[in-house]
Amino acid sequence: MPRKRKTDEGLALRVYKSHGAFYYAHRNGKWEHLGTDKNEANRKAAIYNDPNGLFGTMVYWLDQFVLHCEERVKRGTLSQRTLDDYRDAILAPDARKTRRGALREFFQPPATPLDITPAMVQDFLAINAELGRPVPANRERACLSACFSWLLRTGKVTGLVVNPCLRQSGVKRNTEKRRARYVTHEEFREVYAVATASERMMMELTYRTLQRPESDIIGWTSANLVTEGGRRLLVHRQWKTKQEMKIALPETLLKMLDQALGTGATVQKLRQPLVHRLDGEAYTYDGLCSMLRRSIAEANRLRMKAGRQPMPSFGFRDLKGKGATDMWLAGEPIERIQLLCGHASKTTTEIYIKQRWLETAEPNMVSLG
């Protein structure tokens, strides 16, 4: 039993401070380190203490799953972006308006994991499709499935033997239309012309390396640049495939990198992010995407001023597709494009490319005379 604290210091029940950090005293005698932020410590303690009597419900286990994922992020076995996606799925920002989309709202108490059936999961997908959010609902189902897999793996819920979210259970995801946006050279140049230096760097790195901007490129630092055999290479481990990559960079991009990592307005520091703010700190991916949208809006303003039609919006991820498609059109071997994209098969790479390249089919000109 935890000792009685001398002063509560605004701490939640069973939370204690020691040597500048906060700890939670579990009922099994284990003490868990909660970090140095008191508000964060109280937040976790509120879930453990279960003041609303949610223990055993689906909502309770969803909250516990988030705490588990936070620990995985600390250990480096889960990305911060995945954790953020899970948090949004459990209480999605856009779902708060409708009060129907988020997992905590839909699978409310007293429902427990044993009460959740494939039919309920299918209803969740169908209702959200009617609400105009079929794709977010698919992502939320994936989060729910990950939570059930964790519960099954750890045996936390006695009697739970099936994940009700899987396709094998009869659940069919909402139909998704693959994004097939091909950014033309002209569109690229026009946005590039009005973009900031950081946006240009992200555009170039994505287009030239074909790596994932949201999970790979955003985390690259000066430590990823090495020299081997007189050549300067970019070395990293792909986040999705865990494959080690060595990518040669064109001279124009190397000059941009040297300028960005050198003296001037930027701040030099160890492991400097390749795409960084003027103070040397890294951008968030969402922040860069917002900047790109503003640059596209400015390019469209100039287009409309000249009496031209505005271009459809695009994101950094579309430049990965553009780079792959342009390499294919230039006659590069599909195996090389596959390696850069991190696809498991050539078929995936071919589909990825060809869905973006919509050309006019020539008719059959064979003479029958």
CATH code for the domain in which residue 269 is found: 1.10.443.10
**pLDDT recorded at residue 119:** 93
Burial class (CB in 10 A: 0-12, 13-18, 19+), 303: middle
In a domain, 6, yes or no: no
Residue 146 to residue 4: CA distance in whole angstroms:
38
Model confidence at 48, pLDDT cuts 50, 70, 90, reads confident
Q: Which of 106, 140, 169 is the last residue of a domain?
A: 169
Q: What is the pLDDT of residue 200?
A: 95
* Angle of CA points 197, 198, 201, to nearest 5°: 85
300 and 224 together in one domain = yes
Q: Is the pLDDT of residue 163 over 50?
A: yes
> Higher model confidence: residue 39 or residue 248?
248
225-228, strands of its sheet edge to edge: 225-228, 231-237, 244-248
pLDDT attached to residue 114: 94
pLDDT of residue 96: 44
279 against 141, higher pLDDT: 141
Would you place residue 361 in the very low, low, confident or very high pLDDT band (cuts 50, 70, 90)?
low
For residue 269, the model assigns a pLDDT of 55
State the sign of the Cα–Cα–Cα–Cα dihedral 6, 10, 12, 17.
negative
Residues 208 and 330 in one domain: yes
Mean pLDDT of the chain: 85
Please indicate, yes or no, whether residues 63 and 195 belong to a single structural domain of this protein.
no
27 vs 64, more confident = 64
Judge whether residue 7 has pLDDT over 70: no
pLDDT grade for 266, boundaries at 50, 70 and 90: very low
- Does a structural domain hold residue 41? no
Sheet holding 31-35, edge to edge: 15-18, 21-25, 31-35
User: Does 34 reside within a domain?
Assistant: no
- Decide if 360 is inside a domain: no
306 and 202 in a common domain: yes
Is the pLDDT assigned to residue 359 strictly greater than 70? no
Q: Which of 113, 142, 169 is the last residue of a domain?
A: 169
Could you tell me if residue 30 is inside a domain?
no
- What domain count does the chain have? 2
Domain that holds residue 109: 50-169
Final residue belonging to a domain, choices 143, 169, 195: 169
Higher pLDDT, 44 or 234: 234
Do 123 and 232 belong to one domain?
no
User: Across residues 280-286, what is the average pLDDT?
Assistant: 88
Asked if pLDDT for residue 129 goes beyond 50, the answer is yes
Per-residue confidence band for 293, with pLDDT thresholds at 50, 70 and 90 = very high
Q: Assess whether pLDDT exceeds 80 at residue 53.
A: no
